[in-house]
Amino acid sequence: MRKNIVAGNWKMNTTLQEGIQLANDVNEALKGVDAKCDVVICVPFTHLASVNAVIDPEKLGLGAENCADHLKGAYTGEVSAPMVASTGAKYVILGHSERRQYYGETSETLKEKVKLALAEGLTPIFCIGEVLEERENGTYNDVVKAQIEEALFDLSADDFKKIVLAYEPVWAIGTGKTATDEQAQDMHAHIRSTIAGKYGKEVADEISILYGGSCKPGNAKGLFAQPDIDGGLIGGAALDAESFMGIVTAF
Ligand code: 13P
């Protein structure tokens, strides 16, 4: 059976000291809870090693928010998949819409990042999702299908099974405007059938597909109750231990 996962994406928030405090708070809060899902925090590169030192890896997974599309060498300012793995991190968010939108990431570069991450044993949390215009003009199913096909469909079935997908409609990110349970479920079912078309139903049924975009304690229960929604990728609400835990315990 596929896993339920709630993952925080801290984005470019918190100083190192604030980040260690927040990780500590989440780690402490998890001690009193029998979580029905895997819990992960994806934090800035600068925080990875220090956060890894304060969390219980049995209860809380750690991830980065990106990695480079090259293994090593003269790429000033980049952080490679082996560097991420060497901090103790087990996950890496790839293809977040903010990276596609502001840093020009394409399916071609993402394809490389996914392969490098997998080669290090990292679990990519691969983000897909349409912008508002594509939602409104009705092309959203095709857009998301193309994002998956272009970046991921040259993977073997065994490698594909190691990936977690996150559907994040761009119009719902940080806007307070979440997709309805039905809109999200429809897209998740579409994503699963796209995977089944390439790799078969068995593989499709094993892939965890998370929802992201203004997910909060108040709407998480409804979203997570949908048959094809296996958890959430949480932005703003992950920056406060109490609200993050409110989402974790929605399962
Ligand atoms: P918000 O939860 O702040 O809308 O962000 C979602 C997101 O982009 C997570 O990756």
Cα→Cα distances 207→54, 91, 137, 158, Å: 29, 15, 28, 11
232 lines ligand 1 (CB under 6 A): no
User: What integer pLDDT is reported at residue 32 of this predicted model?
Assistant: 86
For residue 205, how far is its CA from the centre of ligand 1 (angstroms)?
Answer: 25
User: What integer pLDDT is reported at residue 177 of this predicted model?
Assistant: 85
User: What integer pLDDT is reported at residue 71 of this predicted model?
Assistant: 98
- Kindly give, in sequence order, each residue whose CB lies less than 8 Å from that of residue 201, ignoring residues fewer than 6 positions away: none
User: What integer pLDDT is reported at residue 120 of this predicted model?
Assistant: 98
Please choose, from the candidates 167, 184, 181, the residue with its C-alpha nearest in 3D space to the C-alpha of residue 219. 181
Rounded to an integer, what distance in angstroms lies between the CA atom of residue 249 and that of residue 220?
A: 9
Rounded to an integer, what distance in angstroms lies between the CA atom of residue 154 and that of residue 97?
A: 21
Alpha helices in 12-139 (DSSP H): 16-31, 48-54, 81-86, 97-102, 107-119, 132-136
215 lines ligand 1 (CB under 6 A): yes
Its pTM stands at 0.98
User: What integer pLDDT is reported at residue 154 of this predicted model?
Assistant: 97
Nearest atom (ligand 1) to Cα of 215: 2
For residue 97, how far is its CA from the centre of ligand 1 (angstroms)?
Answer: 10
213 lines ligand 1 (CB under 6 A): yes
User: What integer pLDDT is reported at residue 207 of this predicted model?
Assistant: 98
User: What integer pLDDT is reported at residue 176 of this predicted model?
Assistant: 84
- DSSP conformational letter for 4: P
- Kindly give, in sequence order, each residue whose CB lies less than 8 Å from that of residue 32, ignoring residues fewer than 6 positions away: none
- Kindly give, in sequence order, each residue whose CB lies less than 8 Å from that of residue 4, ignoring residues fewer than 6 positions away: 36, 37, 38, 208, 224, 230, 231, 251
Rounded to an integer, what distance in angstroms lies between the CA atom of residue 75 and that of residue 16?
A: 24
Q: At what angle do helices 217-224 and 241-248 cross, to 10 degrees?
A: 20
Task: Match 């103790």 to its residue by tokens.
Answer: 88
248: left (phi over 0), alpha (psi -120 to 50) or beta: alpha
Count CA atoms closer than 13 A to 110's CA, side-chain side. 26
- DSSP conformational letter for 2: P
pLDDT along the chain (251 residues), means of 10: 96 98 98 95 98 97 98 98 98 98 98 98 98 96 98 98 98 90 98 98 98 97 98 98 98 94
For residue 170, how far is its CA from the centre of ligand 1 (angstroms)?
Answer: 9
47 as an active site residue: the answer is no
User: What integer pLDDT is reported at residue 241 of this predicted model?
Assistant: 98
